Amino acid sequence: MKLQDLEVIVTSPPAPGWGGRYWIFVKVTTDNGIVGIGECYASSVGPTTMSHVIHDVFDRHMEGQSPEDVELMFRRAYSSGFTQRPDLTVMGAFSGLEIACWDILGKARERPIWALLGGKMNDRIRAYSYLYPLAHHDINEFWGNAAQTAEAALAAVGNGYTAVKFDPAGPYTLRGGHMPAMTDINQSVKFCAAIREAVGSKADLLFGTHGQFSTAGAIRLGTALEPFSPLWFEEPIPPDNISEMAKVARAVTIPIATGERLTTKSEFAEVLRQGAASILQPALGRSGGIWETKKIAAIAEVYNVQLAPHLYAGPVEWAANVHLSVSIPNILIAETIETQFHKALIKNSIKVENGFIVAPQGPGLGIDFDEELAQANPYKDDGRHLHLQMQEAPCDYQNGNSFLGGAPPKI
């Protein structure tokens, strides 16, 4: 059995766009007709360019190879061009293709992927979701409204969730880490207070940030949030300065979580060595794929650190996250996005039930991927927009800041 054909499918989720502006799926077919599906979480270049990168990685390192040879193919991609270092774009391409290889292997053996990774460690996986507007909420007002967010949190708890995530402390600016405005600190405290009052001890609070603060600013904000005992303080400073993140981890009592923008065990190991985080958040469509992230989990286990796989993409990466989570002892929780489009793309073949994801039983990823639906929702690439984007304007210390929840406007 050899890898033979590749098709890249770029799908745009319908408005409001939870999960990003587009999702990049790969369809890999073997010479004996087995089809594997993967998803590439890569957003530093546009989808047209990324499609060329994916084809290059496949043609150069994978075509004609057995799908079993994931270690060899990883080393080829990791070392390509005399590099032997993490490359976010190449690893994003390889990660989705590697997930497709595991899907093929599971289907060939008629076993779920977790069964090929050491077997089932967990019968079910604790899930969490961002807090999104309810049907009666105004989508633009919601992100600055603590009362509405608390109402959404209570609804999530009613659906069985035991953890909820929110991120009211923007802005996300390409200028690097900044000192938060006092209005942003007050807003964050207000949100934590309202949500904690609504859910009590029934759910953990997951405080999301995306690397937007300076070290001192992160410590200042984290200290203000400590009375509400969040389960984590997510990526409080830019992910490229691990030693500074370690300073934040030592200064606040809230556990630090990071990893959605990191790739391969090389980067995650340094986070662990420096004590910069106690929760790792690899996105399997970027971190090197399933096998590489299994290694990251093993290294983390030595440091008594848990994993919480990240998801801001489509349901194929989510399925890969779930299989890894089923197979490892140090899983904490897995992010999920429950839109109707996410469910429809895999025909609801993996479900969240009362706040937990039951271990998939179908072969490979255990999903029924609706290729027709994916193809019917193409992303119209104008060359200007990426999956997610950061603003150029600096933090506004006079008028306050707003964040629209990661839902990019449709173009």
Q: Report pLDDT for 381.
A: 75
Mean pLDDT rounded to a whole number for the chain = 95
pTM: 0.96
> What are the structure tokens assigned to 339, written together?
């839109």
Contact 165, 130 (CB under 8 A): yes
* Segment 211-230, tens digit of pLDDT: 999 999 999 999 999 999 99
Q: Is the pLDDT at 267 greater than 60, yes or no?
A: yes
The CB density around residue 99, as the number of other CB atoms within 10 Å, is: 33
Q: Is the pLDDT at 273 greater than 90, yes or no?
A: yes
The answer to whether the Cα torsion of 28, 58, 291, 264 is positive or negative is negative
Q: What is the mean pLDDT of residues 97-119?
A: 98
Q: Is the pLDDT at 275 greater than 70, yes or no?
A: yes
Query: Among residues 108, 128, 126, 106, which one has the least CA distance to residue 117?
Result: 106
H/E stretch holding 152 reads helix 146-158
Helices (H), 226-275: 242-251, 264-273
Q: Report pLDDT for 401.
A: 86
Distance CA 388, CA 407 (A): 9
Contact 4, 248 (CB under 8 A): no
Q: Select from 3.20.20.120, 3.20.20.240, 3.40.50.300, 3.40.50.620 the CATH code of 115-365.
A: 3.20.20.120
Residue given tokens 């429809």 in the structure block: 344
* Segment 316-327, tens digit of pLDDT: 999 999 999 999
Q: Is the pLDDT at 272 greater than 50, yes or no?
A: yes
Q: How far apart are the first and last CA of the chain?
A: 42
Each domain of the chain, given as residue ranges in start order, spans 115-365
Q: Report pLDDT for 384.
A: 79
* Segment 66-93, tens digit of pLDDT: 999 999 999 999 999 999 999 999 999 9
Residue scoring higher pLDDT (35 or 399)? 35
* Segment 49-58, tens digit of pLDDT: 999 999 999 9
* Segment 376-387, tens digit of pLDDT: 999 987 777 888
Q: Is the pLDDT at 409 greater than 60, yes or no?
A: no
* Segment 292-323, tens digit of pLDDT: 999 999 999 999 999 999 999 999 999 999 99
Query: Among residues 68, 19, 401, which one has the least CA distance to residue 213?
Result: 401
Q: Report pLDDT for 411.
A: 45
What residues have CB less than 8 Å from 329, skipping those under 6 apart? Answer: 121, 301
Confidence bin at 170 (pLDDT 50/70/90): confident
Beta-sheet pairing, 124-130 with 356-358: antiparallel
Distance CA 379, CA 411 (A): 10
